[in-house]
Amino acid sequence: MNKDTYVIGIIGCGAMGSGIAQVALQNGHPVIIFDENENARQASNVLIDKQFKKRIEKGKMSESQWTSCMDRLRFATNLGDLKSCNLIIEAIIEDLVIKQNLFQKLESQVSQSCIIATNTSSLSIAALSSAFRNPERFIGLHFFNPAPLMPLVEIIPGIRTAHQISDLLKQLMQTWEKQPVTAKDTPGFIVNRIARPFYSEALRIAEEGIADYATIDWAMKTLGQFKMGPFELMDLIGHDVNYRVTCSVWTELFYDPRFKPSITQKRWFEAGLYGRKTGQGCYSYSEHQSLPEPQKNTELGHYILNRILVMLINEAADALYFGVASAEDIEIAMKKGVNYPIGLLAWGNQLGISHVVQTLDDLYNTYQEERYRVSPKLRACLRLNTPL
Ligand SMILES: NC(=O)c1ccc[n+]([C@@H]2O[C@H](COP(=O)([O-])OP(=O)(O)OC[C@H]3O[C@@H](n4cnc5c(N)ncnc54)[C@H](O)[C@@H]3O)[C@@H](O)[C@H]2O)c1
């Protein structure tokens, strides 16, 4: 493929669309961005230019590369302007009907061979593909925020996607120095499914009064080597986003109790306490207020880490069991998409499968809740004495 002539179209230039456009430009493609909102188009142009200037300051880009990138960038005011595109990545608002309407209008405006991808985090690729006359050309291509910095890209072929499209996008993502993984079209794909207990079990521990937010964050960072604790991370992601993802995975998995959302988070969401962006969430971010001090009790810390970790390992094992992704891709996804220090399957083997199963069974016996149901994959590993 000649990148100079392989034109990338982006629809929707908010946080994600602008970031993906920047990556495509850095990789030598002509890029055409369409957004229905003029202010968004202007803001995106300014943002992309600013990001390139930052790269120059850091010595990651030359002035001539910057000029070349900006010369290859065009903004479009109607969908017909995308007709020369070879690949279009949609990154508009997360709404099934709005995306379907867009795809219906788009398909007749582009060439037969144009690949159309969606950056959706939570919608079913199958449901979105029903808007197409030719659904074989359509696929999920899920970047992480911020797209220029996060290496992971989940590739999600739908049941009607042509096989060669997955392969082609995998190769393209590798040339963009991204780390592509392949996920089945299942709720939350890989990362947003497996990572759920990082937040939900932390919330549960706090709701039970076992430890406060600061102590849970301290335990996960200091004893578990996670870059951020669950509460500071939820405040950064925003409870609007995080709560919606949780609800979406839970409902899409037919209300599996393992994914049940937390009342505490629902209240933050309802009250508009989204976290850093509103100045308050789990913590308060006013200028004069410092974050609360944790209770640095190692025994309590190990309990917290162990409980959240076994829940995460259980989810990773279950995703493997249900063929959401290969073991290799599950490990890559959690390390490159959410910066986990070790892959969860490897962590399970390190802790010992019998320890993981015993801890979950103890929680199950204590609470009598399906939430602590052990994955058949872990039971099989224990029975056969094999690693994950
Ligand atoms: N923000 C994240 O962390 C993140 C991460 C991964 C994936 N995603 C997904 O990426 C997509 C975009 O998210 P975002 O955070 O960049 O959203 P955003 O709100 O920042 O930007 C969306 C843009 O789409 C434009 N838009 C809305 N409807 C449109 C239409 N019908 N036609 C053309 N343009 C339209 C809006 O004007 C806006 O500029 C969503 O599907 C989201 O789920 C978001």
Domain boundaries, the chain: 8-182, 192-384
User: Which residue, judged by its Cα, is nearest atom 3 of ligand 1?
Assistant: 145
Domains 8-182 and 192-384 share a fold: no
Ligand 1 close to Cβ of residue 40 (< 6 A):
yes
* DSSP string of 163-183, one letter each residue: HHHHHHHHHHHHHTT-EEEE-
CA-to-CA distance for 160 and 135, rounded, in angstroms? 6
> Quick one: pLDDT at residue 344?
98
> Quick one: pLDDT at residue 284?
94
Q: What is the enclosing helix (H) or strand (E) of 245?
A: helix 239-252
Token pair of 193, please?
A: 């499914």
> Quick one: pLDDT at residue 291?
83
Q: Let me know: does 9 contact 87? Beta carbons within 8 Å.
A: yes
Gyration radius of the chain over CA positions:
22
Q: How far is the CA of 272 from the centre of ligand 1 (A)?
A: 20
CA 377 to chain centre: 24
CA-to-CA distance for 236 and 313, rounded, in angstroms? 24
Q: How far is the CA of 90 from the centre of ligand 1 (A)?
A: 8
Ligand 1 close to Cβ of residue 281 (< 6 A):
no
pTM of the model as a whole = 0.96
Ligand 1 close to Cβ of residue 124 (< 6 A):
no
> Quick one: pLDDT at residue 288?
75
Ligand 1 close to Cβ of residue 7 (< 6 A):
no
Q: How far is the CA of 205 from the centre of ligand 1 (A)?
A: 33
> What pLDDT tens digit does each residue of the chain (388 aa) get?
899 999 999 999 999 999 999 999 999 999 999 999 999 999 999 999 999 999 999 999 999 999 999 999 999 999 999 999 999 999 999 999 999 999 999 999 999 999 999 999 989 999 999 999 999 999 999 999 999 999 999 999 999 999 999 999 999 999 999 999 999 999 999 999 999 999 999 999 999 999 999 999 999 999 999 999 999 999 999 999 999 999 999 999 999 999 999 999 999 999 999 999 999 999 999 877 788 999 999 999 999 999 999 999 999 999 999 999 999 999 999 999 999 999 999 999 999 999 999 999 999 999 999 999 999 999 999 999 999 9
Note the CATH number of domain 192-384: 1.10.1040.50
Nearest Cα neighbor of 324 from 171, 210, 157, 207 is 157
Q: Which CATH number fits domain 8-182: 3.40.50.150, 3.40.50.720, 3.90.1150.10, 3.40.30.10?
A: 3.40.50.720
User: Which residue, judged by its Cα, is nearest atom 6 of ligand 1?
Assistant: 144
9, β-bridge pairs: 32, 88
Residues known to be catalytic = 121, 142, 154, 192
User: Which residue, judged by its Cα, is nearest atom 4 of ligand 1?
Assistant: 145
Ligand 1 close to Cβ of residue 256 (< 6 A):
no
Token pair of 6, please?
A: 């392989």
